[in-house]
């Protein structure tokens, strides 16, 4: 009993001490956490919209806080990448729009000069109209790309027959190839059911077909369709100038033009394949390309295959 009394008395004496000790332990562990957290906050305060290159220093000395800092750094990488993309998009677009505007201004100034004949002015106005049409198309294309990349473009998810779309594109391709030594061959009538947006798909295939015709001085443009278990595809194959391996990496970049496109008086905008890629991906599909210099190119649009349960609305 005495022993217990002494123990109890000891406990009574020791308990406040223990409480004091644990309170100061707790305070120390809060401080241990707060110091690295303060470091993270200081680093974050240095990150400004005009300079997104700073990062939070790691390791922080506290595992949980280091994990937090790593997550913040990952988010900053993504924000910086998006910011750079937007910056270069704006810079590229302004540059590309300046060129035709400079041409238009030069022509207008020429028209305003003295002693121009009516015929000369008429001719200059036609040239101005072509430049205006081209610039308008470029602005429209840029809008599609910007909206598409931000997923703000409406895209149907309906069952449609890819063969029908290919037939329409074939017909237009015949017209585009008019006056050139190009044979256009098409696909049979067998239905190939895809899920997606028939109009957007037509736009993709028209871009591919117009390239095939433009980059084939003489030869053939051939359409084909195929299906696998889950996907269907339409391909456009040409026997034209082909694409070198170095160019192949860049052709889907916006405003990228190969030499053949650049050397034309009214060359392409370099946006056709960017649009095609964006529209394919928005439909859950993709574009594959195989090509070699001087041997022609083959572009294939893959789309999800319909399992027959989706019906046209
Ligand atoms: P462009 O308006 O210049 O045709 P695109 O985005 O449609 O722009 O194509 C980008 C570049 O890819 C072209 O400038 C050209 O160099 C190359 N290219 C695209 N399709 C073909 C093709 N069928 N054959 C050869 N080169 C092609």
Note the pTM of the prediction, 2 decimals.
0.78
To test the pocket of ligand 1, the residue of 142, 215, 245 to mutate (highest count of ligand atoms within 8 Å of its CB) is: 215
Strand partners, 248: none
The answer on pLDDT for 265 being more than 50 is: no
- Measured from the Cβ of residue 111, the count of other Cβ atoms closer than 10 Å reads 15
Distances, alpha carbon 228 to alpha carbons 193, 202, 273, 306, in Å: 11, 21, 24, 11
Cβ–Cβ under 8 Å, residues 190 and 142: no
* 123: CB partners within 8 A, 6+ apart: none
How many residues comprise the chain?
313
Q: DSSP 3-state assignment of 260?
A: helix
Nearest CA to ligand 1 atom 21: 211
Q: If we measure between CA atoms, which residue out of 167, 170, 190, 204 comes closest to residue 283?
A: 204
Q: Which of 254, 273, 287, 290 to mutate to test the pocket of ligand 1 (most atoms within 8 A of CB)?
A: 273
pLDDT digits (tens, 9 = 90+) for 177-221: 999 999 999 998 899 999 999 999 999 999 999 999 999 999 999
In the predicted model, what is the mean pLDDT of the chain? 89
Which residues sit opposite 255 in a β-bridge? none
Helical (H) or strand (E) element with 301: strand 296-304
E strand or H helix at 11: helix 2-45
Confidence of residue 3 (pLDDT cuts 50, 70, 90): low
């Amino acid at each position: 009993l005495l022993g217990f009394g002494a123990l109890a008395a000891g406990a009574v004496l020791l308990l406040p001490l223990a409480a004091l000790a644990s309170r100061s332990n707790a305070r120390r562990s809060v401080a241990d956490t707060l110091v690295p957290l303060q470091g993270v906050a200081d680093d974050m305060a240095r990150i400004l919209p005009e300079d997104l290159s700073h990062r939070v220093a790691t390791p922080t000395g506290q595992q949980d806080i280091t994990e937090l800092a790593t997550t913040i750094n990952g988010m900053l990488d993504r924000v910086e990448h998006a910011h750079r993309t937007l910056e270069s998009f704006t810079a590229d677009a302004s540059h590309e729009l300046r060129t035709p505007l400079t041409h238009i201004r030069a022509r207008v100034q020429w028209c305003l000069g003295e002693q121009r004949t009516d015929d000369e002015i008429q001719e200059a106005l036609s040239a101005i109209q072509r430049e205006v049409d081209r610039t308008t198309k470029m602005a429209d294309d840029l809008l599609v790309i910007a909206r598409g990349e931000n997923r703000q473009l409406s895209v149907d998810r309906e069952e449609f027959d890819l063969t029908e779309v290919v037939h329409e594109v074939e017909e237009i391709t015949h017209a585009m190839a008019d006056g050139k030594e190009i044979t256009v061959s098409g696909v049979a009538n067998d239905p190939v059911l895809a899920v997606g947006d028939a109009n957007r798909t037509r736009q993709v295939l028209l871009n591919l077909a117009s390239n095939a015709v433009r980059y084939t001085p003489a030869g053939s443009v051939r359409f084909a369709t195929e299906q696998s278990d889950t996907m269907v595809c339409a391909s456009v194959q040409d026997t034209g100038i082909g694409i070198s391996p170095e160019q192949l990496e860049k052709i889907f970049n916006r405003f990228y033009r190969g030499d053949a496109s650049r050397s034309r008086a009214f060359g392409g905008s370099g946006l056709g394949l960017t649009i095609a890629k964006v529209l394919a991906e928005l439909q859950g599909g993709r574009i594959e390309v195989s090509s070699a210099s001087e041997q022609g190119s083959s572009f294939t649009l893959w789309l999800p295959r319909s399992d027959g349960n989706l019906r046209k609305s």
